[in-house]
Homo-oligomer: A and B are copies of this chain.
Amino acid sequence: MKNILQREIPETLEGIGELEPFQGAFTKLRKGWMEEKKVPPPNKATMPHSSKMCSNLKEAIIRTKPRNGMTVSFHHHLRGGDNILVESIRILAELGIKDITLASSSLTSAHEPILPYIKNGTITQIYSSGIRGEIGKAVAQGVMPKPFVIHSHGGRVRSVHTGNIKIDLTVIAASAADVEGNSTGAHGPSAFGSMGYAVIDARYARQVVVVTDNIVDYPCVPQAVTQNFVDYVVKVDSIGDPSKIAGGTTRITKAPMDLQIARLAAQVIEHSGLLKEGFSFQVGAGGASLAVAKYIRKIMKNKDIKGSFLLGGVTSYGVDMLNEGLFKSIFDVQSFDAAVSSSLLTNPYHIEITAGLYANPFNCGCMTNKLDIVVLGALEIDTDFNVNVITGSEGYVRGASGGHSDTASGANLTVVVCPSFRGRIPIVKEKVHTIVTPGESIDVLVTERGICVNPNRPELKENLIKGGIAIKEIKDLAAEVEQITGKAKPIENGERIVGIVEYRDGTIIDVIRQVK
């Protein structure tokens, strides 16, 4: 069967079960929002005054009674410095556990040491918002017996609620915790900021282990995860490489083309009609996206506009805008650099939020649904504005769905910024290899070679033209790019489906086939 974007979706898939084809960003919500299945979080109980402390991670994992076929989850807030995921998988492998489903909120370069465990059957399936590097290459080549599942940040929470992801064990790294497991990422030598992705795991996992390099006096304040969800606590020497956890600072790009695109995007936003008193805003941390914030900040100061909230992955640039009074608040599900932690710790209007509050489509008011303007990147975008942020030009998995489709669906104005081509590889093209975010959610594309407005937003096009912004038809832009780069060489795929891309509502927006 084909989904509404004409992607071929099988009715069932071994290792997954029945698949429901994507029907449009809000079709399923409109139809069956209260009827969707859901599972209860577990009951647990402990005797009063019993200790949760374990002498090491292995002891804790043994006490959770791991078994073959289990699902183990992690958060990725330690960024490229994370040591806990790899160490936990190593211990499980050492214990002889096989057929693990790995459900990490994302996978980064720090996780490449698990590759041998993917190859030897310790890990047989992955649920994640992103996969990169060698792991992304291996899974695209079909190294795992069961298809991997790419979900959005909001979709992950929905999947835990519905039981599609049924977590047996979650190992939660914290930069500070007390002996009962109250924990935070907001302070300590390995501070990493928000723990927003971990909270749903803590609530739903059958067993919850908190790991920290920094046991603090009871009670740990603030508390991102509270003790009533934590089974075991482990003090380790290190939760990872502090220079990669806490050292990073997100800087605005100096690449001229990115800056040019960002400047154009800021003009688009300025004339969109949505940059007004009380607006809310999210930008990605990468390349041109973050740079847009720089120009928006200038415009806000010039025009004396004050925004309501900044959302999302938060950089120190966002914190500066909060401190300057340009925005009233920040809702922080993930801190992109270390400088954010102290703001999170001290400013009550820098609010740590859970991934559910951030983006779960199956609750009555995720933040992305209240967002006015979001600026997002793309690996590819097609002439229907469908965006690929997951597979690269060779067909390997090398990106993340993240909050892309979540924010794009909710925001009043979704701006995609990207170059029209990279090297000799077209970015704007007739057909993207993998769709993550449907074109219906994208309002405008900004490239160095032209700005294209989604035809379903005629009033936006009108506003931009009034503002003196030249608009190009996206088909014309794609043709122009093809003239420069030549036709993109098609990726040589096998027929076997090695992964699926789940839309935030649980329907399947695309599949990923084995790369030859």
Contacts and interface: CB of A to CB of B under 8 A. Distances in A.
A382 interface: no
A362 B47 CA distance: 10
A208 interface: yes
Given A38-B40, A40-B38, A43-B362, A219 B161 contact: no
A353 to B, nearest CB: 8
Contacts of A46: 364-365, 369
A364 B208 contact: yes
Given A52-B365, A230-B365, A364-B208, A40 B43 contact: no
Nearest to A30: B47
A222 to B, nearest CB: 7
A378 B100 CA distance: 53
Interface in A359-415: 360-371, 409-412
Contacts of A180: 365, 370
Contacts of A348: 221-222
A349 B221 contact: yes
A514 interface: no
A364 B229 contact: yes
B221 A351 contact: yes
A40 B39 contact: yes
Contacts of A362: 43-45
A349 B44 CA distance: 27
A104 interface: no
Contacts of A227: 357, 364-365, 367, 370
Nearest to A308: B218
Contacts of A29: 45, 47
- Report how many copies the assembly holds: 2
A69 interface: no
Contacts of A353: 226
The secondary structure that dominates the A interface is: loop
B38 A366 contact: no
Nearest to A45: B33
Contact of A328 (B26, B42, B219, B328): B219
A130 interface: no
Interface string A23-36: 00010011001101
Contacts of A38: 40-43
Given A364-B208, A364-B230, A370-B49, A219 B43 contact: no
A317 interface: no
A109 interface: no
A220 to B, nearest CB: 10
A412 B227 CA distance: 19
Interface string A309-348: 1000000000000000000110100000000000000001
A357 B226 contact: yes
Contacts of A218: 308-309, 328
A376 to B, nearest CB: 16
A44 B36 CA distance: 9
Nearest to A345: B348
A228 interface: yes
A48 interface: yes
A221 B329 contact: yes
Interface in A399-433: 409-412
A83 interface: no
A63 to B, nearest CB: 12
A421 B348 CA distance: 50
A267 interface: no
Given A34-B43, A351-B221, A364 B231 contact: yes
A132 B363 CA distance: 37
Given A34-B43, A48-B412, A228-B366, 20 more contacts: A26-B47, A29-B47, A33-B44, A33-B45, A38-B41, A38-B42, A40-B161, A43-B161, A43-B162, A44-B364, A45-B363, A45-B364, A49-B412, A218-B309, A219-B351, A221-B349, A223-B351, A228-B356, A228-B360, A229-B364
25 contacts: A30-B47, A33-B45, A40-B41, A41-B161, A43-B161, A43-B162, A43-B362, A43-B363, A44-B363, A46-B369, A48-B371, A49-B370, A49-B410, A52-B365, A218-B309, A219-B328, A219-B329, A221-B329, A221-B348, A221-B349, A227-B357, A227-B364, A228-B357, A228-B364, A229-B363
